[in-house]
Amino acid sequence: MDLHAACADLAAIAQARPLAVVHGVSATMDKRCRELGIKVQTLTSPSGHSSRYTPPALRDVYVQAAETVNQQIIEGLSQRDCAATGFIGAQIAVFGERKKAIRSLVKGRIRLVRDDYSGRISSVSALPLRECIAAGSVPVLPPMAQSADGALNVDGDRAAAAVAAALGADTLIILSNVRGLYRDFPREDSLVSEVPATQLESALGWAQGRMKRKVLAAQEALQGGVSRVIIADGRQPQPLRQALAGAGTRFSK
């Protein structure tokens, strides 16, 4: 994703409507791991969902990467006269529960992974986010949740869905490194422009790799009361405004 283009877009949109930002950390995390000589590993569930393996030694690196990206977005918005507030550290507004044992496919066999610090989202504290928006500032949230086991790595797209539902948002935009959902990826002519509620299960079947979680996040957002979800290309100029104008894949009730 082009962070510069996204911040410019967010600042322009914030002049016309309230918004909140939930960001990812994958690119920054991968860079940090390369610098530290740490091998990036993923866990893949039997159903095909993949997530970053975050053992105790890697959790601090994850937190640092999240803090870095959070600050970059706040500075990018501030440079464009858009006030922003980071909900990170002691201000984390997303809460979750650590997955004590994760079923993961390893060389064709299912293994139980017990030292991973990822988790499922249990709730969102909407009040401080609403107060932030009412004060004219944009809440900026990392893909982290607070728990009894400390900070957890949570999926950014599903965190965004939970935040959107908690705030009663009308629209959730999820940026990706592709144009949207494809019925037969990577065939460009198989791009799906509209997914009504009746086709959500089919959409989960079409999705490949990380797109599965984005479609799952879209489903959760709609179930939480969000009116529409758009998965769009974050690599293009004005990615958010293009999404609002009709680009990408739109999910609706």
Per-residue confidence (pLDDT) for residue 57, from 0 to 100 = 87
Name the 3-class secondary structure at 131.
helix
**Does residue 124 surpass a pLDDT of 80?**
yes
C-alpha span between 250 and 68 (Å, rounded):
31
Query: Can you give the pTM of this predicted structure?
Result: 0.94
User: How is residue 91 written in tokens?
Assistant: 């201000």
**DSSP state, 101?**
S
Q: Are 174 and 156 in contact (CB under 8 A)?
A: no
Per-residue confidence (pLDDT) for residue 161, from 0 to 100 = 98
Using DSSP bridges, classify how beta strands 144-145 and 94-98 pair: parallel, antiparallel or unpaired: unpaired
Domains of the chain: 1-169 (3.40.1160.10), 170-253 (3.40.1160.10)
- pLDDT tens for 77-121 read 999 999 999 999 989 999 999 988 889 987 778 999 999 999 999
Name the 3-class secondary structure at 22.
strand
Residue 99, CA distances (Å) to 7, 117, 130 in order: 33, 7, 29
Name the 3-class secondary structure at 8.
helix
- pLDDT tens for 236-246 read 889 999 999 99
Q: Are 14 and 138 in contact (CB under 8 A)?
A: yes
- pLDDT tens for 169-207 read 999 999 999 999 999 999 999 999 999 989 999 999 999
For residue 209, name the pLDDT band (cuts at 50, 70, 90). Answer: confident
- pLDDT tens for 131-167 read 999 999 999 999 999 999 999 999 999 999 999 999 9
Q: Report, as an integer, the average pLDDT of 25-49.
A: 90
**Does residue 1 surpass a pLDDT of 80?**
no
Q: Report, as an integer, the average pLDDT of 62-77.
A: 96
C-alpha span between 34 and 16 (Å, rounded):
40
Per-residue confidence (pLDDT) for residue 38, from 0 to 100 = 92
Average per-residue pLDDT for the chain = 94
Per-residue confidence (pLDDT) for residue 34, from 0 to 100 = 94
DSSP per-residue codes, 139-181: EEE-SEEB-TTS-EE--HHHHHHHHHHHHT-SEEEEEESSSS-
User: How is residue 21 written in tokens?
Assistant: 């930002």
